[in-house]
Structure formats: C-alpha cells, structure tokens
Structure 1
C-alpha cells in the first residue's frame, strides 16, 4: 500500500503532544459541532415549521442541505488536492456559519431552507477537508486514534444533542439551535490554523482534467439524492415514481464520482469505499426500523425505544476506542472483517424482538454488537483510504468515501420508508424484510472484506 503523510520526520507519539494538541481539540470540536447540528435540527424542525407556517417545505429543509453537501464533498476533494485543505476548511466554516445565521434569522420557511442549503454546502466542504488534514498532519500510527476521536465526537451529540436541542427550543427559542453554534465553530477553526501553517506548503496546481465534469455529475447526484429524500416522504404511486427516478439518477451519476472498479469491488480503494457504503446502509436501515418495531410490537414508549438506539451509539464508541488502542493487525482486512461480521450478526439478531416468546434483551444485545462492529469498521476504513491515496489524491478519495457513505444511507432509508409504507400498517413481515436487507448488506461486505488489500500486497 502507498502511505502518504506530510508529517515531519519527528512524529509525535500522542494526539495530545504539544505539536498536535491544539489541532486535535479544534478538529474534534468541529466534527462534534457538525454532528450536533445534524441531530439538533431534527428536534427543532417541527417547532420551526409551525412557527414559520412552512410544513410544505419540511422535507426540503432536510433534503436541500443533503444535496448541497453531496456537491460540496466533490468540490472540496478537488480543491484540497489542488490547494491543500486550508482554503476548503476556511470556506467550509464560513459557509456553515453563514447558513446557520440565515436559518436562525429566517422569517419565512423559504429563507430557512436557503440557509440550510448554504449550511449543508459548508458541512460538505468541511467534512472532506478534515479528513485531508488528518492525512497530512497526523502520522500513520495515530490515524486510527484520531478517527476514533471523530467517532466519539459523533456519539456524544447523538446521546445529548436531541435533549439539549429540546431544552433550547423550550427555554430560549428554536432560533438559538442555529445561532449558538457559530460561537464555538470560529474558536475551533482558529485552534486548527497554527497546525495547518506548520505543514509543508503545497504548491498550488490546476484542478485535474475532468474536474468540472465531476462537479456536474455531483450536481446530478445531489439533485437525485434530494428527490430520493422527498420521494421517501410520499406514499403510493407517487412515492414509487419519485424513488425510481431518483435511483436512476444516482445509478448514472454516482459511478462517475467513485473510483474505477467500484461496482465490481476491485481490490484496494474501490472495495474500501464499497464496504463503507454497505456498512452505512446496514446500520441506517436497521436503526430506522428499531424504534417503530419496538413501539408497535413490544409496547415500548418513545423514550424506551430511544434508549435502545443509545445502546448502539455507546457500543459504537467502545468499538472505536478498541480499534484505536490495539496493535495494528497484520492484515489490513482484519478489522473490516471483524466489524462487518458484528454488523451482520447484530442486525440479524435484532429480529429476535419479533418473537413474542423471546425477551427483548437479546435483541438489545444484538444491536450493541452491531454498534461495536461500526466502531471497529469506520475508523479502519478511513485509515485505509488515506493509506491507499497518493498525497495529491487524498481529497478526491476522502470525498468518495464520504459520498458513498451518505448516498448509501440515503438510498436504504428511502427504500425502507417505501417498504414500511407499502401496506396499510407496518407489521412483522415489513420489519423482518428490512432487517434482512440490513444483515445482507453486512454479510456481503464480510464476503468482500479481503479485497481491501491490493493485489500487490495480498
């Protein structure tokens, strides 16, 4: 494998060494803010829609930023490879903060949606730039640990974000869900700035041939993703038509944004990106079903069903912590195999909750196993992406990794929604079929995991 790092020869041994301390705090804080905002908006949006009389634009308030984020990921990848991550990071924060300000000050739902689109574009720029920063600033031996910190930065907001957002909405007003975040985002990016200046300066280069075409295909993928999100909110023939058109658009656009050989699981990077998408599809597909299944089939309250999801988030954090501290495996495929095995077994085990004579506890345990698998898998695939990328391709490949992840989750969520809405009321057969698809994605990934090792290293 090709190892690419711009770190100096005297590599630090810890994330909190003097050279990396401020950067580590800054980038983890930025990841945490992206996670909090993504989760908090879902809590605040019903109140926002009522306040601005904008229920008709409710779905677009989520689909719009997702679509702009897809475009921004591709733009950021091109930009980082040509100019380094610093400009993309600064612009990402600027767009993110500007979008939050517009949304927080909105007096109409249309204005709020516009702010959300701007915010989503900033999030996409920033998310890819942060990966490239890791590739350039952190030595290979610390990358699993910093990506574990990224995972923790997502898990903590998933535990407290909705509750904190609810308190903000109730006591301060929904606008502060948007307006409070910039107060932390700007200091966080200032912490990263000195570390970026310390990196070896990159001579600016022209964007590669085909960059404009890639951005065009990204616009097509973003529009298809937004249509997919909207179609998943509909019912009946309309839903089927919209979802079908969106999937066709994705099938045309996405292969042109991912590495050659992605569809046939070619060895190395194409399989790494494919496994990330399969894992994301498996976990998202099961996660969306669990609360509904437990409430309808087992009589759980919303709080009780939410606590089950919390178990998965916590075990995800534990898995990330474990993979960051165990010795590096002899084979690059070991952690992906372990993670995907846990995902396949865990999502399949959740179906135990559909058996009336079986306690719910085994299903909860199974979901914790799935979360553990995600924790083992995600950081290891992020590290592999950087290791398999030449310095001038870290942006493009980091973009492809996150693009595949996001679009796979969006696709399976839309299809799951269509399955659950197919009948008059979801029942055990609907839940079992969606969980079977999730387990199947995990199993397929497990069968392909050995292909993350390039042929020259196999």
Structure 2
C-alpha cells in the first residue's frame, strides 16, 4: 500500500501512532499493578489470571486477521475500528461489577489491541523507507519504556485518590486524540488488493486456545473431570486447525514456514519468553504487596525495571550483533532470562524489593537482547518476499506465549492455594481486607501471607523451569551461515 505523501503529515501521523500505542502500553502496566486491589474488591481470585489471559488471547487471535483486513480496506478504517473497539472495552471495564464481567470487557479491549499494534507498525512501513525506519521504531519503543515508568505510578495514584475505573476511562481522551490525528493527517492513495482471510483457521485457533486455557484453569482448581473434557476439545480442535492450515490458500499460520529450523527454534524461544514475562507481570505485584507488605507504588517500580532493561538490551544488540553474531546474541539473551527469573524464585518474606527489581532488570535485559536478535535473524533467514509473514510469526509467538503463560501460571498459582480438602487456603474477602489495610487477627493475616507466599513461590519456580527452555531452544539454533537456511525457492535476503 502506498500512502499519499503529498498530503500526509508524517510527524503528526507518528504522534498519533505513539498515542494509540501508549493506550495499550500504559494499560498493561497499570492493570498489572492495581489488579490485586481490583480482584480483592470484585472477588473471584481463582479467575485472576484470566483478566490478563482474555486480553492476550483476543489480541493474539485477531492480529493476523486485522493485518489482512488493512490490506483489503486500507490502514485508516481498520485503525479507526481498532481504536473504537479498544475504547468501548475500556469504558465497559471501568464499570465492571464482577470478575467475569471484567474478563469479558478485557477481551473486547484485546480485540481492539489486535488491530492497533500491527496496523500501526504497518503504517510506519508505508510511510518510511527502511533506512529511516529504525529511528522511528526507536520512538515507538520509547513509548513502552515511558509507559513502564509512568503507568505504575499513575495506577497507584488513581487507586488511592479516585475509583479504579479511571485506569480504564483515561484511555478515552488519548484514543480520541489519536483517531483525530489519523483522520486529519493520514491520507492513503486508493488501492485495490485481493487477499483471502483464513476465518475458519482464526476461529479454530481461538476455540482451541480458549479450550486449553479453560483446561489449565480447571486443573489448577482441582476440577479434573472438566479439565479432561476441555483437553479433549483442545486436541480435536488442534487436529482440525492443522488440517485447515494445510488446505487454506492463505493460512493464518504457515506450517511450511514454521517447519524451518531457524523459525521453529526462534519462535519457540519467543513463546516461552512471552510466557515467563506475563507470569512476572501478573504475579510479582501481588507478591510485593501482600508477602513483602510494600505499597502498590513499590510493586509497580519493581515491575518497571523489566521495561527499563528491555531497551538497553535492544540497543546493545543493535551495536554488537554484527561482531558477535546473531545466534550468539540470541543465546546470551536467552541465558539472561532464567538468570533474572532465579531472583524471583529466591524471594522470601524477609527479602527486599530490590532483589525483585534486579531480577526484573536482568530479565528485561535478556528479553531486549533476544527479541531484537531473533527478529533480525528470522528476517535475514527468509526470502525478501517472506519477511512480512516471518516477522508476524515472531510477534504472534510472543503474544501466544503471553496468552498461554497467563493461564498456565494461573493454574499453578491456584494449585498452590488449594488445600488437601480441595478448598482455597483463604477467602476473597480475607484477601480484600488485607490489601485494604483492614487487618484481622495477627495469626489470620500471617496465615494468608504464608499461604499466598507459598503458592507464589511455586509459581516462580515453575517460571524458572520454563525459562530454562528458552536456553535449550537457543542452543538448537544453527551456527553456520544463514545463507544455507533461507526458506523458499528464491534467493536469500541480501546481507
């Protein structure tokens, strides 16, 4: 798609892109910081991880669909649709009356985010040649770093001074400003492009992942019969999905592309890395606030260190990969992830939040190194004509890992809280009173913190095991020249 550069104001369009992406970025950090208070008020602690998983599931499933719709109908209308859906979900989420309602409205937000992120990056690709795109991507990356710093502090202030609903409602003016910028300053040239959308594949994927997430949740709370049923649904859907992707003219997931060794290992590492990252994002604030008995601001700052380490790791990679080698950078980044995760497994009730902050920084550093090196690696390993789909596969893998990780670690968390008789170690009301400062007896409060600390420790140890899989996959990367690993019949991309 070729934009009309005569009338398009590139700086103002980029400002609109940064505003639209800021909604998604700030929402992630704010929600993860204040979710313990929201969960304690709404109840349904066993559904805690679904608040994150529903968003990520919808975002992951819809990313490819909206990307193709933008090819068919243009970037502007799809971006408008994404912003409108995201704002509708935000407004409704602020009025949530229960955890199931919150999960539903977060899913709507995720659908909108599934349009905003890929289409925003596509607009950048339309407006800027490759030699200028790196600087613009740096501006977009700064949005996530700034949001990581500002988000937790804004969330803490909103919870203390206003209703928690404002963490969602604050998106409305930002989204309207972004939409106005696109309307006024982005002018696309007319284009006609034919493409097929694998709707059946998208539906099967969504149903399959949802079934897997429900199975994990039921297993975590001891509903083994229901878990087995949903596992069977997942298995059947998986078979149908593979058959559909084999026969689809334009499949949602290219099985041929994923079958290449470089793509499979790099995307597998991205998926496991995404699982660990969402696990820390979901459960670290709860540990710091309840077990370490620190404020939500402190909890947010420990989590912020992930996003501070990420751009540093990416910057170091961009300056050294041509000397060190891409596969070595992937291995270095992969090794830093379990090193950082180990700090969380070492946390105890006597620990200082600084240990959690150091672990977050090291983990973010590793994610920054691995993500950029992986992206360059897969782009250079395929034909030029396949770079777009290869890049999308990497983003897709990380999002899929986040969706699965939120539910998987939520199941581990629920399993750790379940006593031998199948009951939870404490009630939602007890946790709510503890978070709100209305302490019960010293013995009761200590018991809640001990039970929660034990469950979270089990969750962190499981994250450490999963993060070791990132290293294992990185070791499987081929170390010889990339030319011999180009995928497809054409010539490999020029170095």
TM-score (norm. length: structure 1): 0.75
Is 248-257 or 139-148 further displaced after alignment? 248-257
What does 1:185-196 correspond to in 2, within 5 Å?
185-192=175-182, 196=186
Is 2:255 the counterpart of 1:260? yes
Instruction: Indicate which of 459, 462, 468 corresponds to 1:434.
Output: 462
Equivalent of 1:369 in 362, 366, 370: 362
Please report how far the alpha carbon of residue 33 of structure 1 lies from its aligned counterpart in structure 2 after TM superposition. Answer: 0.9
Q: Does 2:168 match 1:178?
A: yes
What are the within-5 Å matches in structure 2 for residues 339-354 of structure 1?
339-348=333-342, 351=345, 353=347
Unaligned 5+ residue runs, structure 1? 10-17
CA distance in 2, matches of 1:311, 1:273: 24
1:414 matches 2:407: yes
CA contact (8 A) 2:216 2:227 kept: no
Q: Which moved more, 1:424-433 or 1:137-146?
A: 424-433
Q: Which whole-Å CA distance do the structure 1 matches of 2:204 and 2:464 have between them? A: 32
Q: Which moved more, 1:32-41 or 1:81-90?
A: 81-90
- CA distance, structure 1, for counterparts of residue 50 and residue 286 of structure 2: 23
Matches within 5 A, 1:283-322: 283-285=277-279, 299=292, 301=294, 306-322=300-316
Structure 2 equivalent of residue 279 of structure 1: 273
SS in 1 for 2:122: helix
- 1:95 matched to 2:85? The reply is yes
Structure 1 pair 82–25 and aligned structure 2 pair: CA distance change class (3 A): same
Give the number of the structure whose alpha-carbon radius of gyration is greater. 2
Query: Are residue 205 (structure 1) and residue 200 (structure 2) matched?
Result: no
Give the paired residue count: 438
Match of 1:13 in 2: none
Separation in structure 2 between the aligned mates of residue 41 and residue 367 of structure 1, nearest angstrom: 18
Name which of structure 1's ranges 380-389 and 310-319 shifts more when overlaid on structure 2.
380-389
1:35–1:411 distance in 2 versus 1, CA, 3 Å: same
Local SS of the residue matching 2:254: coil
Q: How far off its partner does 1:389 sit?
A: 7.4
Alignment gaps of 5+ in structure 2: 246-251, 420-450, 487-491
CA-atom RMSD in angstroms = 4.6
Residue 368 of structure 2: SS of its match in structure 1? helix
User: 1:75 and 1:374 mapped to 2: Cα distance?
Assistant: 26
What is the CA distance between 1:443 and its match in structure 2? Answer: 0.4
| 2:204 match | 217
Asked if 1 retains the 8 angstrom alpha-carbon contact of 2:19 and 2:178, the reply is yes
Contact 1:225–1:407, Cα closer than 8 Å, also in 2: no
Give the match for residue 138 of structure 1: 128
Cα separation, 1, equivalents of 2:207 and 2:3: 37
Task: State the distance in 2 between where 1:117 and 1:239 align.
Answer: 23
Cα-to-partner distance string for 1:282-328 (whole Å, 9 max, x where unaligned): 4334555656777899x56465565433333321232234445x277
Q: What is the CA distance between 1:151 and its match in structure 2?
A: 3.5
TM-score (norm. length: structure 2): 0.70
Residues 41 and 417 of structure 1: is their aligned pair in 2 closer, same or farther, counting only changes over 3 Å? closer
In structure 2, C-alpha distance between the alignment counterparts of 1:419 and 1:60, rounded to whole Å: 13
Contact 1:345–1:366 (Cα < 8 Å) also in 2: yes
Alpha-carbon distance change, 378 to 142 in structure 1, aligned in 2, over 3 angstroms? farther
CA distance in 2, matches of 1:140, 1:442: 30
Residue in 2 aligned with 1:24? 14
**Cα distance per residue 1:386-428 (max 9 Å; x no partner):** 675767983x555543332122123234333333444555379
Q: Secondary structure at the match of 1:329?
A: helix
For residues 150-189 of structure 1, the aligned pairs below 5 Å read 150-189=140-179
Residues 376 and 193 from structure 1, CA distance in 2 versus in 1: closer, same or farther, beyond 3 angstroms?
A: farther
CA contact (8 A) 2:321 2:329 kept: no
